[in-house]
Amino acid sequence: MKAIIVDDEYFVRKGFMHIIPWQELGIEIIGEAANGEIALELMKQCHVDLVLTDLTMPVMNGFELIKQVRAHYLGTWIAVLTCHQDFHHIQEAVRLGAIDYVVKTELEDDTLNKSIARIIERIRVEEKRKLELQEQQQEEEEPWALFLTPVTGEADWELPFELMLPSGRSRAITIQKKGIYVRREDLLQKYTNIALLYTAMDWKQWIPVIIRGVRNLPEKVIVQLLTRYRDEKLFFDFQAQKTGYEIDWIELETKPVATDDAIMQVLKQQWRSYYWVYHDGAFHDLMDKVRERRPTVAIWMEHLKNTVMLWRHFESISESMDWAAACEELLFWEQWTDWLALVRLRLRHHELSEDVCIGILRAMQMISIDLQSSMNQTEVARRINLNRSYLSRCFKQYVGKQFQDVLNDLRVEKATELLATTNEPVYQIAEKTGFQDEKYFSKFYKQQTGRLPKHVRKE
């Protein structure tokens, strides 16, 4: 694959040319250009498979270059060189035809190689997909299947079967909580027309996903592929106003690229900062960045849900909220975004300042992830830059409980979880919840719950 690098900064071009192991990735850098106009002249002289371009350049910027390449070189792929702050520019570039982006500030970071590898992998996947589509178009009637996935936990699971032939209902594959898979030939005749199928669905309950290029695979494999698609890609792609989706089978078989640890840490830091509670811009930036970066859903959502479950301890807002149920009912990132937009308003306290509320939210997060230590209120106050007595007063006012009571509740919850789900000795569980003495832990646990730890384990 032949590529060129387009950027008005000389050292950025040279950096990219020399830092990346292009040959190992199957790429040959055949040229460089300082702006879009020079790049187009270069492309007239030789075949180019991939253009890596900056967006902000003199003479001809990257946006115009993308338009020109898409208009005159349909087989050429385009990736964007950008900065962390350019998310809106990235969206516009992708709309114009760019396949992906590379962050310039990663020049001296080992994540740069992963970013380039991600782009190459996407290109290969897309090229393979194009070949598949060309083959499918040669067929007189393209085979496809339907995957119906619920939008809400209240969805009627009998509804999808109304679309099927009686003989096809037994061949449909039901994936618990994820959806129902049925091949085209098992649908009623009128619903083999995709347009009619879309209009027939109650899209407030079910989302239809058309899967093209169907392959005959064991049911176990189909279940695995659809579950991964539902839990990873569709989790971020879902939009309430969209009535259907289409995907090629080869995309189902392509494993998502694992989230870089550095990206996950940045997202977690923004989340734990709690600035998004008070600042609309910070909130929307975080929500958009999560959708854009697509962190591994299982890891990211475990982090969010653990935080949400902490909010149960806020007596001022927890009475009318079933936090555990909310975590189960929210199935897509857009739904989480809408729900968090409402919850953040309830997390504000009309009598306490923003800094104090954010400090207390951070304190709750802090003690929940460090129960093993002997952290006390004095140490927490020091970490969030508040006077101890002032923290104590504000904590009670905001949370509705004393600091020590909340800490005790968290330790009991963690201990109960470990007793029920692990075979760890009681003394280890005591240590993991901040107790150095097993006897004292057992006495404390009984005072809080009315039962000894060993009795809980037997149950």
DSSP string computed for 317-339:
HHTT--HHHHHHH--SHHHHHHH
CA-nearest of 129, 127, 140, 56 to 90 is 56
What percent of the chain lies above the pLDDT cut of 70? Answer: 95
Question: Is 184 within 8 Å of 192 (Cβ atoms)?
Answer: yes
> Residue 338 domain-assigned?
yes
pLDDT band of residue 106 (cuts 50, 70, 90) is low
pLDDT at 348: 87
Query: CA 122 to CA 126: how far, in whole Å?
Result: 6
> Residue 122 domain-assigned?
yes
pLDDT band of residue 457 (cuts 50, 70, 90) is confident
Q: Which of 164-178, 230-244, 366-380 has the lowest mean pLDDT?
A: 366-380
Highest mean pLDDT among 268-277, 434-443, 450-459: 268-277
Per this entry, what is the length of the chain?
459
Q: Are residues 88 and 222 in the same domain?
A: no
Sheet with 28-33, side-by-side order of all strands? 28-33, 2-6, 50-54, 77-82, 100-103
Query: CA 204 to CA 153: how far, in whole Å?
Result: 11
Q: Are residues 189 and 128 in the same domain?
A: no
Q: Are residues 98 and 154 in the same domain?
A: no
Bridge partners (DSSP) of residue 2 are: 28
pLDDT in tens, 221-244: 999 999 999 999 999 999 988 888
pLDDT at 319: 61
> Residue 276 domain-assigned?
yes
Q: Are residues 286 and 394 in the same domain?
A: yes
- What does R_g of the chain's alpha carbons equal in angstroms? 27
Q: Are residues 327 and 436 in the same domain?
A: yes
Bridge partners (DSSP) of residue 211 are: 145, 247
Question: Is 300 within 8 Å of 256 (Cβ atoms)?
Answer: no
Query: CA 164 to CA 172: how far, in whole Å?
Result: 9
Q: Are residues 290 and 171 in the same domain?
A: no
Domain of 33? 2-137
Q: Are residues 248 and 336 in the same domain?
A: no
Query: CA 219 to CA 174: how far, in whole Å?
Result: 10
Q: Per the structure block, which two tokens stand in for 373?
A: 């230590």
pLDDT band of residue 257 (cuts 50, 70, 90) is confident
Q: Which of 311-315, 338-342, 382-386 has the lowest mean pLDDT?
A: 311-315
Decide if pLDDT at 146 tops 80: yes
Query: CA 37 to CA 13: how far, in whole Å?
Result: 16
Decide if pLDDT at 49 tops 70: yes
At which of 203, 221, 253 does a domain end? 253
pLDDT band of residue 23 (cuts 50, 70, 90) is confident
Decide if pLDDT at 84 tops 70: no
3-state secondary structure of 145: strand
pLDDT at 172: 95
Q: Are residues 133 and 155 in the same domain?
A: no
User: Average per-residue pLDDT in the chain?
Assistant: 87
Helical ranges in 229-352 per DSSP H: 234-237, 249-253, 261-273, 280-293, 297-310, 315-318, 323-329, 333-346
pLDDT band of residue 92 (cuts 50, 70, 90) is confident
Q: Are residues 304 and 361 in the same domain?
A: yes
Residue located via tokens 């709690």: 274
Decide if pLDDT at 140 tops 50: no
Decide if pLDDT at 407 tops 50: yes
Q: Are residues 231 and 160 in the same domain?
A: yes
Question: Is 249 within 8 Å of 168 (Cβ atoms)?
Answer: no
Q: Are residues 23 and 91 in the same domain?
A: yes
pLDDT at 119: 86
pLDDT at 139: 45
H/E element, 215: none
Residue located via tokens 């995907």: 247
Distance spanning both ends of the chain, measured CA to CA: 62
Q: Which of 110-114, 197-201, 310-314 has the lowest mean pLDDT?
A: 110-114
Query: CA 106 to CA 100: how far, in whole Å?
Result: 15
At which of 137, 152, 170 does a domain end? 137
> Residue 459 domain-assigned?
no
Better pLDDT: 69 or 459: 69
Q: How many domains does the chain have?
A: 3
Sheet with 173-175, side-by-side order of all strands? 173-175, 179-183, 144-150, 206-212, 245-248
DSSP structure class, residue 164: B
Q: Are residues 25 and 155 in the same domain?
A: no
Whether the full predicted model's pTM is greater than 0.85, yes or no, is no
At which of 102, 118, 137 does a domain end? 137
For residues 58-70, give the mean pLDDT. Answer: 91
